[in-house]
Structure 1
Amino acid sequence: MDSIRSSQITEGIRCISESMFMGLCRKVGTSQLVAMRRDVIDISDMAENQARESDKFKGMLSGSRKEGLRLEGSDNDIMQWPNDHRVIWKLSQSQYYNTHRLTLILCDCSDSPPGFTLLYLLSPSMNREIQRACVRMNNRYYISSSKHRQIFLSESSLPYNTTPHGPCISGTIGRHEYDHAICFVSNFWPPSAFPWIDRCHSWPQPYVVNDIVKNGCHFVAIGHKLGNHEDHEWRISFSQAEQKLVYVMDHCQFLTYGLLKLFLKEIINNGVCDDDKLLCSYHMKTAVFWVIQQNAIPHWCPQNLLGGFWVCFKLILKWVYEGVCPNFFIPGNNMFLSKIHGVKQQQLFRRLSELYKKGAAFLLRSPSIRSCILDVLYNPRNSICTDDHTLISEYEFDRNLFREILFYYVNPGKLDIQECIRYLHTIEQMIGSPLLTQYQVVMLQNMIARILQYTAFMLHMETYSFDNKLSYRADKMSCHMLKLTAKFGCITDMLYIAMYYYKTLRFMEALSIIEITKVKLAQPYVMHRYVDTEMYIEAVGGQSWSTKMRQAVAWVIRLHKRFHCIRELIPVQQSLQNNQDLLIIPTFILLYMLEIFCYRHVDTMRVQTALDELQTLVHYDQGQLIPLRQRDISWQILGICQQVTGNLQAALYSFQQSLRQEPYNRIHTAAEMRIQSLSMDSLN
């Protein structure tokens, strides 16, 4: 009987593990989806760095988003370092650099805890901020991490409102939260991490180890709280190495990492204030690294997903009990030392022990994990399957791909025409490489579309006041670039042509583009909000992603505050806060608005019909064509259209409704000003 019961328990665990694997593939991503996400981000990172090779700073994305995770709240981390500074570990390494062009910095680890160092300037830096961050100790100039952080926190040139967060500056760009680390780079591997190389017997493979070591490390601006020079020390960062390790995880290991992050967020840290969140996702990642390298799981597979999670959880429990979390690259760096000790350590251990005693059932406390398991177990039509093509349909994959691609954004606020040309030249050189994946090719095509768009509007902006001959030539070039954009981009890129025609007073041409766009958007297979997936497959199934994007993908309109394409929207653009560059406008809202404004100049009889269509859409749409969080701009645009057509009472109501919506575009100041203006007009 015991053997039968044991067999039943084993079979039950295997079934739950497989169900969880399927659910996590849908929640976190299949192996093909994760590979696609990484390819898309990697190529955009590469293009950005190559195009800005001569810039003062170089950078890279890191964190969860770079790793391929798309969980709610996934980190958007940016690391940037001065391009003309390099850190070395010993003086003999200076022979590899041209010291007339680069400022060299020497590590001094003699009086710092493992994983930390002081940075000593070997020659004066030409960077004003770095000069201000220096302190004099023992007749040497060291770069103080605390001063460095404070200087960059107060820098007005940063594009978002900022607050300190460990070694990073945290804030938002538009509507997305970021951690921004200004750091230094070394092309050499830290001597204190050489034992890690010898430890890599089975994982990762030698070619990965060599790639990691030859790319060196970074230094982020935070000292050890128990060190002798906390205010001046820098922490050695292995972010680039960790990203490479996550990339070589198999998919079951990667899903275990995602499961641990959900476990941390929705169970361990659920309802806990920030000061009491002792464990972080970096501890979860470190646990997975150690478990993989120590071969604690003999066979990673869907049937053993729960077992892999359980081994990682037990390791974290052991670390909390001992008060020691060894850094994966430098084990002597105990990442718990200054945070998890004393009473807080005991309390955390008791909480985790109680969960451990409950067995895997405690995972059902997590809404995400619970849905991963129950959606499969309670749906008899979902047979257990671990094949990518069965887990996700062609349409679902395409939707994820286009979301990744169209999420990308080049900020034109810092570009001039010459820089745009440099971008285009860089991408032109890259796009012919046989080493690119199919995802990367379509991503580069999208980048070309975005840059051509910005170049067209910049060219018009910089030449419209010149002589007629120059303006005529610039106009022809702008029109040509915008038409090329429509060939590389998606359906809604045609509306940028319509905006340009409206801006240049060619109302009939704009209306012609609007009509063509309407016909394209009316197709039931167009990927906008709700799609007839069967018709999508019938219309574009099996075709190239370039073709699919051009024929079957619609996206929101992103209107940069630098480009005043629509005169009536200028006050709204000017009201955008300093940390926000874009108005995000639903496609059909912009389409109807342009139609109303164009008809006012060519056919006033049709203005009311277009206005009625816009009003019906804003009043009655249930999230099908207007995402709920973009209703603030939708109501405000309706109000603007009602105001310019003379319906002031309806306009006042629309502006008031705009203020009641989620402030996604943060345009409440513009709405308040219009309400005030209408109220004063009514009094007069």
Structure 2
Amino acid sequence: MSESVYVGMCREMGTPQQVTSRRDIGDMMELLDKQKYDVVRLMRSGSYKEGFRLLERGSDIDTMIWPTDHLVMWDFSQSEYYNIHGQTLILSDSSESPPGFTLLWLPLESAGQGVILSCVEINGKLYISSSKHRENTHIAVPFHPDDTIHGPCSSGTDGPLEYDHAHCFVSDFWPPSATSWIDRCYSWPPPHVVNDIVRNGCHVVAIGHKLGNHEEIEWRISFSQAEYKLVYSMNHTQFLTYGLVKLFLKEIINNGPRTEDKLLCSYHMKTAVFWAIQQNTLPHWCPQNFLVGFWICLKLLLKWVYEGICPNFFIPKNNMFLGKIYGHAQTSLFRRLYGLYEKGIALLLHSPSIRSSIIDVLCNPRLTVCTNEHTLISEAEFDVELFGEINSSNTLYPFDLQSCIYYLHAIEQLIDLPLSHYHVVSLQKHTSSMFQCIAFILHNMYTVTGVNKQMYVADKISCHLLKLTAKFGCVSDMLYLAMYYYKTLRYREALSVIERTKVKLAQPYLMYNERVDRERYNDAVGGQSWSKKRLAVAGDIRFNNEICYISELLPEQQSSIQNRKPLLDLPPFVLLHMLEFLCSRHVNIMIAQTALDNLQVLVHHDQGWLDISWEIPGICQQMAGNLQAALYSYQQSLGQYPFHKIQTATTKRIQDLHF
């Protein structure tokens, strides 16, 4: 039974190889960002960072953001490690706060203008107010106009994704209130993980304790950085146990419609798993003991609810149930949990995600289950996710040369590090993105300001970089070179590139997003290096909306910028036919009409296109003088999910048609 559920969870949560690749690709992005930003730092946290991909079940994307020149100290002696003239030092004062919380005292001589706006004065001292800081950062740095404040975060949605952004402060030192945690780590995590966690300190986030004396100005000590490192140090059985208790919470405990019944949260589940592993109640966390591990976590959770005490993993005196789970609500929750406990492992039949794994064993007790990860997922399935991860994480599209140089320098430094296969293939994609950005930035710069010689040199560099883009990127990245040739009026060269790209995109084994003939893909590139596999992969063509690639799409880029969308993703098949139409108009009008016909057929007969996919045939039809068809395409674009936020441009194009 345990092994069957373990296999079901591998399929649901990911095999060891999948989880490792997700983490490596995400970490590579953070390493590059770390090199670029010197004023603020960003760190992903939460379940997405940990390696889960359960967006439809609430696995959202959490980001912590903090200024690098504001540092929290736990006592004055730590100030000797800093340049007090170049940094704002903040002193923690937890003397009047509940365990796990603190006040932040800002000495007057180090107060910066920005943080002063979030301060309140108490007994002649300036304290940074958590509530004011939340309000000020939410107003000053909104990620989206519809964002709302939820706890310490600005929360919102971007398409199907839910996100939380928490503006916080960092401490380079481990908090004194968590020193007991170091002494407990004799069995787990390993010493090198403990040392790494302690050496990197912690954060404070802008939320106070509801029962504290200073709720509006208190800050919570956050161990998000330590927590993802703990999750990374788990073996795969422990990781899947963590995933199973998350599903248990989402699909069984909190499955009802009433918000007041949802007293437990994912953080309580994570804490239970941490304690269960560290207390060594299960000596061997392996697939054969998978359900035993889950049962240990459930019993620990039951004990905590009965006692009304959930000890924070790092600061046990911080009871995370305090003010939340008590009285009638506590009694009711305990009865519900105990009722589930009495059902035994059959309680998991209430989880849609793993019910089938249990039923398979109940119906066939002699069923032999293989836990070898290579039998759980095919090579093509793994590659679909891998290249999808790389494309979704690849948001490095700067619009100025200085930023590009920063990133290229960072890439150069990272190349010398010991890198995994996933790091390398991810880094190659980021390099490809830098090259194409530089190529178009150079052209745009020297077209406006350059003399002939400068334009000639810039053109040579741009062409060379775009050929490297195609070399390090995937098949569809050849279209950047075709766009550049079109932009520089070299229509025949562009059409030559388009023809070569068309042949490659027509291969029966091509992988695009999740679309792939797995059998043909495995036959064509199975077992080969990632460099070879890139030749069988196509991805969306990504525009930085601050860079002009082709003038025909400038209105869409400007509309997208106005709605806080920095990037525009174009399906390669749609863009290919658009470029063929644009170039052929200057070479052969018959080929141009054929390209337009092919574009119309593509968009009309394929499903799942977004707003931009219908916008492009509309633009081409309008240029060809077919205004009725253009109007239909624009109306279809407005009817799609507004992923790229181009409605302003679409509406303006419709108005132009009427005049």
Both structures adopt the same fold (TM-score exceeding 0.5):
yes
Question: Which residue among 457, 463, 475 is the counterpart of 1:491?
Answer: 475
Give distance in 2, aligned partners of 1:667 and 1:246.
Answer: 40
Give distance in 2, aligned partners of 1:129 and 1:158.
Answer: 19
Give distance in 2, aligned partners of 1:159 and 1:423.
Answer: 26
Question: Which residue among 161, 167, 176 is the counterpart of 1:191?
Answer: 176
Give distance in 2, aligned partners of 1:125 and 1:548.
Answer: 54
Question: Which residue among 602, 610, 619 is the counterpart of 2:595?
Answer: 610
Are residues 320 and 590 of structure 1, via their aligned partners in 2, closer, same or farther at CA, if it must alter by over 3 Å? Answer: same
Give distance in 1, aligned partners of 2:358 and 2:114.
Answer: 52
CA shift, 1:188, in A, is 1.3
Are residues 384 and 632 of structure 1, via their aligned partners in 2, closer, same or farther at CA, if it must alter by over 3 Å? Answer: same
CA shift, 1:243, in A, is 0.9
Contact 1:108–1:117 (8 Å) recurs in 2: yes
Amino acid at match of 1:329: F
Amino acid at match of 2:457: R
Give distance in 1, aligned partners of 2:89 and 2:236.
Answer: 41
Amino acid at match of 2:291: L
Give distance in 1, aligned partners of 2:88 and 2:208.
Answer: 22
Question: Which residue among 61, 75, 81 is the counterpart of 2:66?
Answer: 81
CA shift, 1:562, in A, is 1.5
CA shift, 1:327, in A, is 0.4
Give distance in 1, aligned partners of 2:641 and 2:344.
Answer: 41
Question: Which residue among 477, 498, 503 is the counterpart of 2:461?
Answer: 477
- Whether 1:205 and 2:190 are equivalent positions in the alignment is yes
Tell me the residue number matched to 1:368: 353
Are residues 430 and 641 of structure 1, via their aligned partners in 2, closer, same or farther at CA, if it must alter by over 3 Å? Answer: same
Question: Which residue among 490, 496, 503 is the counterpart of 1:512?
Answer: 496
Question: Which residue among 412, 436, 440 is the counterpart of 2:419?
Answer: 436
Question: Which residue among 627, 634, 638 is the counterpart of 2:613?
Answer: 634
Contact 1:174–1:581 (8 Å) recurs in 2: no
Amino acid at match of 2:539: W
CA shift, 1:156, in A, is 4.5
Amino acid at match of 1:418: Q
CA shift, 1:161, in A, is 4.5
Are residues 85 and 76 of structure 1, via their aligned partners in 2, closer, same or farther at CA, if it must alter by over 3 Å? Answer: same
Are residues 157 and 481 of structure 1, via their aligned partners in 2, closer, same or farther at CA, if it must alter by over 3 Å? Answer: farther
Contact 2:75–2:91 (8 Å) recurs in 1: yes
Contact 2:396–2:434 (8 Å) recurs in 1: no
Tell me the residue number matched to 2:98: 113
Are residues 423 and 84 of structure 1, via their aligned partners in 2, closer, same or farther at CA, if it must alter by over 3 Å? Answer: same
- C-alpha deviations, 1:630-668, integer Å up to 9, x for none? 332222222222222122222222222223333333333
Tell me the residue number matched to 2:230: 245
Are residues 440 and 241 of structure 1, via their aligned partners in 2, closer, same or farther at CA, if it must alter by over 3 Å? Answer: same
- C-alpha deviations, 1:172-212, integer Å up to 9, x for none? 46764321111111111111111111122211122221221
Are residues 548 and 380 of structure 1, via their aligned partners in 2, closer, same or farther at CA, if it must alter by over 3 Å? Answer: farther
CA shift, 1:220, in A, is 0.6
Are residues 355 and 670 of structure 1, via their aligned partners in 2, closer, same or farther at CA, if it must alter by over 3 Å? Answer: farther
| Higher mean displacement: 503-512 or 379-388 | 379-388
Question: Which residue among 421, 425, 429 is the counterpart of 2:409?
Answer: 425
Are residues 663 and 375 of structure 1, via their aligned partners in 2, closer, same or farther at CA, if it must alter by over 3 Å? Answer: farther
Q: For structure 1, which runs of at least 5 residues remain unmatched after alignment? A: 1-15
Contact 1:103–1:123 (8 Å) recurs in 2: no
CA shift, 1:589, in A, is 0.9
Structure 1 vs Structure 2: percent identity of aligned residues? 62
Contact 2:205–2:219 (8 Å) recurs in 1: yes
CA RMSD between the two structures: 2.3
Are residues 479 and 160 of structure 1, via their aligned partners in 2, closer, same or farther at CA, if it must alter by over 3 Å? Answer: farther
Contact 2:610–2:637 (8 Å) recurs in 1: yes
Give distance in 2, aligned partners of 1:631 and 1:83.
Answer: 39
State the TM-score, normalizing by the size of structure 1.
Answer: 0.91
Question: Which residue among 632, 646, 656 is the counterpart of 1:667?
Answer: 646
Give distance in 2, aligned partners of 1:477 and 1:24.
Answer: 50
CA shift, 1:160, in A, is 6.5
Are residues 674 and 350 of structure 1, via their aligned partners in 2, closer, same or farther at CA, if it must alter by over 3 Å? Answer: farther
Amino acid at match of 1:657: Q
Contact 2:41–2:66 (8 Å) recurs in 1: yes
Tell me the residue number matched to 1:457: 440
- C-alpha deviations, 1:571-630, integer Å up to 9, x for none? 222222432122222211111111111111211111221122111111112x4xxxx1x3
- Whether 1:131 and 2:108 are equivalent positions in the alignment is no
Give distance in 1, aligned partners of 2:160 and 2:437.
Answer: 21
Give distance in 2, aligned partners of 1:468 and 1:336.
Answer: 71
Contact 2:585–2:592 (8 Å) recurs in 1: yes
SS at match of 1:169: strand
Are residues 494 and 256 of structure 1, via their aligned partners in 2, closer, same or farther at CA, if it must alter by over 3 Å? Answer: same
Amino acid at match of 1:356: Y
Are residues 376 and 143 of structure 1, via their aligned partners in 2, closer, same or farther at CA, if it must alter by over 3 Å? Answer: same
Amino acid at match of 1:447: H
1:130-529 pair list within 5 angstroms? 130-156=115-141, 158=143, 161-172=146-157, 176-272=161-257, 276-373=261-358, 384-412=369-397, 415-433=399-417, 435-466=418-449, 467-528=451-512, 529=514
Amino acid at match of 2:41: K
Are residues 647 and 207 of structure 1, via their aligned partners in 2, closer, same or farther at CA, if it must alter by over 3 Å? Answer: same
Amino acid at match of 1:660: G
SS at match of 1:154: helix
Contact 1:125–1:131 (8 Å) recurs in 2: no
Amino acid at match of 1:671: T
State the TM-score, normalizing by the size of structure 2.
Answer: 0.94
- Whether 1:558 and 2:537 are equivalent positions in the alignment is no
Amino acid at match of 2:429: N
Give distance in 1, aligned partners of 2:461 and 2:165.
Answer: 37
Give distance in 2, aligned partners of 1:660 and 1:379.
Answer: 49
CA shift, 1:101, in A, is 2.1
Amino acid at match of 1:84: D
Give distance in 2, aligned partners of 1:262 and 1:347.
Answer: 21
Give distance in 2, aligned partners of 1:669 and 1:346.
Answer: 54
- Alignment length (residue pairs): 654
Amino acid at match of 1:458: I
Contact 2:394–2:429 (8 Å) recurs in 1: no
- Whether 1:60 and 2:43 are equivalent positions in the alignment is yes
Give distance in 2, aligned partners of 1:369 and 1:508.
Answer: 56
Contact 1:187–1:215 (8 Å) recurs in 2: yes
Amino acid at match of 2:642: P
SS at match of 1:601: coil
